[in-house]
């Protein structure tokens, strides 16, 4: 049985160094955190440990720095934002397991937090060689000295067989963090016992990113709403002209198979009836709403590209969501970062907040859209921090970080 954070706290953590793997992979611009959602989500566990007298050492990744130090991926801005968001003292080491990390860890007092530098600055973190990963895990564990422990609270990384996620659990007594526990509870509810009608809303750019999710959820969902760039592969598979819109030609046959499979399982696949077609991929591009059977009939003809679902589609999607008891949403309906193409995503988000249903927002882009479009996060049943990990769970895959905790 998996040991939990509550088990660890019951054992007593005062004066002990506790290594926590957090998910602090946040977007940065000009050295500033632009969306602190993951930092806010990670703080409760860190604060709970600090309040109990633990000396908390945090390890996390940011971006893909290719296994070597890269200033643009430093966690320094994250440490600064953490310090602003919590009353717990936060220090940052200048390296991961080197002299700075060792000295900083040794200087830690009860109730303080130390953030180590980006774990992906060390190539051993993501190495395919288990001995190399184990070596790094050993160095991280050594920072806790005697009587240390490990808490995995980074659900967004549990699908990776990385040193700080999986291998470390063999070096220290390992415990499941509250964030990981909450994510698993929600995902189990979505896959094992969803209250019906159960609606899945999928968007984002590529069908290929969601193939296994669609395949695994088709027999479980009552309705599958498709938006975002991935919709054009579905539309082309049905014979519609899509102009210059994003399409995955090699997935047309697969998509047609999904349409047939859905019918067999009694799952309704709902596609948009209209699309916002634009002259270019630009915030100020000329655009117009066209029905899906006439996407190449507008002023830009076959050169137009689709950047959002249209208002009729948004209304239809909202209607399906309103009649649901469980809704899982992953992926924006359009290019929400551009105001002209954000209406579809905003409509779906609003429908989720209005629905008398258990609503789950999964995936970094969807969560970012919720925040950037000004929605109250508490209006949703659950906002996942787990991106790829959530999708892999919904695909039915084993997650190495969870497996390492004995789950």
Strands 287-291 and 274-278: antiparallel
31 appears as a binding residue in the annotation: no
38 appears as a binding residue in the annotation: yes
What are residue 326's DSSP bridge partners? 198, 358
Cβ neighbours for 208, distance < 8 A, ≥ 6 positions apart: 248, 251
256 appears as a binding residue in the annotation: no
64 appears as a binding residue in the annotation: yes
363 appears as a binding residue in the annotation: yes
Strands 32-33 and 28-29: antiparallel
Distance CA 199, CA 189 (A): 13
Structure tokens at 111: 């109730």
- Pick the catalytic residue: 362, 364, 386, 387? 364
Q: Please classify residue 202 by burial: count the beta carbons closer than 10 Å to its beta carbon, then call 0-12 exposed, 13-18 middle and 19+ buried.
A: buried
365 appears as a binding residue in the annotation: yes
364 appears as a binding residue in the annotation: yes
What are residue 67's DSSP bridge partners? none
Q: Length of the chain, please?
A: 407
284 appears as a binding residue in the annotation: no
40 appears as a binding residue in the annotation: no
| DSSP secondary structure letter of residue 193 | -
63 appears as a binding residue in the annotation: yes
Give the three-state DSSP class for 68. coil
Q: Please classify residue 361 by burial: count the beta carbons closer than 10 Å to its beta carbon, then call 0-12 exposed, 13-18 middle and 19+ buried.
A: buried
- Pick the catalytic residue: 40, 102, 206, 325? 206
Omega prior to 197 cis, within 30 of 0: yes
**Is 206 an annotated catalytic residue?**
yes
Structure tokens at 223: 């309705």
Q: Please classify residue 324 by burial: count the beta carbons closer than 10 Å to its beta carbon, then call 0-12 exposed, 13-18 middle and 19+ buried.
A: buried
**Is 38 an annotated catalytic residue?**
yes
Q: Which helix (H) or strand (E) holds 236?
A: helix 231-237
Give the three-state DSSP class for 76. helix
23 appears as a binding residue in the annotation: yes
30 appears as a binding residue in the annotation: no
Give the three-state DSSP class for 20. strand
The whole-angstrom distance between residue 265's C-alpha and the CA centroid of its chain comes to 28
256 within 8 A of 278, measured Cβ to Cβ: no
Give the three-state DSSP class for 169. helix
162 appears as a binding residue in the annotation: no
3 within 8 A of 151, measured Cβ to Cβ: no
- Pick the catalytic residue: 38, 81, 236, 251? 38
249 appears as a binding residue in the annotation: no
**Is 388 an annotated catalytic residue?**
yes
Residues of the binding site = 23-25, 38, 61-64, 120, 160, 210, 306, 337, 363-366
- What are the residue numbers of the active site? 38, 206, 364, 388
Residues of the binding site for substrate = 23-25, 38, 61-64, 120, 160
Residues of the binding site for ATP = 210, 306, 337, 363-366
């Amino acid at each position: 049985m998996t040991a939990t954070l509550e088990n660890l706290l019951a054992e007593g953590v005062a004066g002990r160094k506790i290594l926590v793997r957090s998910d602090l992979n946040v977007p940065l611009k000009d050295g500033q955190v632009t969306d602190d959602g993951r930092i806010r989500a990670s703080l409760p566990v860190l604060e709970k440990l600090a309040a109990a007298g633990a000396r908390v050492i945090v390890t996390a990744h940011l971006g893909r720095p290719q296994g070597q130090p890269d200033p643009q991926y430093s966690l320094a801005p994250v440490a600064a934002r953490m310090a602003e968001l919590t009353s717990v003292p936060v220090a940052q080491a200048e390296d991961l397991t080197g002299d700075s990390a060792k000295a900083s860890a040794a200087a830690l007092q009860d109730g303080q937090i130390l953030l180590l530098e980006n774990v992906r600055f060390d190539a051993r973190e993501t190495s395919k060689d288990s001995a190399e990963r184990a070596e790094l895990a050993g160095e991280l564990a050594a920072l806790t000295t005697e009587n240390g422990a490990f808490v995995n609270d980074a659900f967004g990384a549990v699908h990776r067989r990385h040193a700080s996620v999986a291998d470390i659990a063999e070096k220290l007594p390992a415990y499941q963090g509250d964030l990981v526990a909450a994510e698993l509870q929600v995902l189990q509810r979505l896959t094992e016992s969803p209250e019906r009608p159960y609606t899945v809303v999928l968007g984002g750019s590529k069908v290929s990113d969601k193939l296994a999710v669609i395949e695994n959820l088709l027999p479980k969902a009552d309705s599958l709403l498709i938006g975002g760039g991935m919709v054009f592969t579905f539309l082309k598979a049905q014979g519609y002209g899509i102009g210059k819109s994003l399409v995955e030609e090699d997935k047309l046959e697969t998509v047609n198979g999904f349409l047939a499979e859905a019918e067999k399982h009694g799952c309704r696949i709902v596609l948009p009836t209209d699309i916002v077609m634009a002259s270019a991929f630009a915030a100020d591009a000329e655009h117009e709403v066209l029905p899906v059977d006439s996407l190449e009939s507008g002023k830009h003809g076959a050169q137009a590209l689709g950047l959002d679902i249209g208002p009729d589609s948004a209304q239809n999607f909202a209607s399906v969501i309103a009649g649901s008891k469980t809704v899982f949403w992953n992926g924006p309906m359009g290019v929400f970062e551009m105001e002209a193409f954000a209406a579809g995503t905003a409509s779906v988000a609003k429908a989720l907040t209005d629905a008398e249903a258990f609503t789950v927002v999964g995936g970094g882009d969807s969560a970012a859209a919720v925040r950037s479009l000004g929605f109250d996060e508490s209006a949703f049943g659950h906002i996942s921090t787990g991106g790829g990990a959530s999708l892999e769970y919904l695909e039915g895959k084993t997650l190495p970080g969870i497996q390492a905790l004995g789950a």
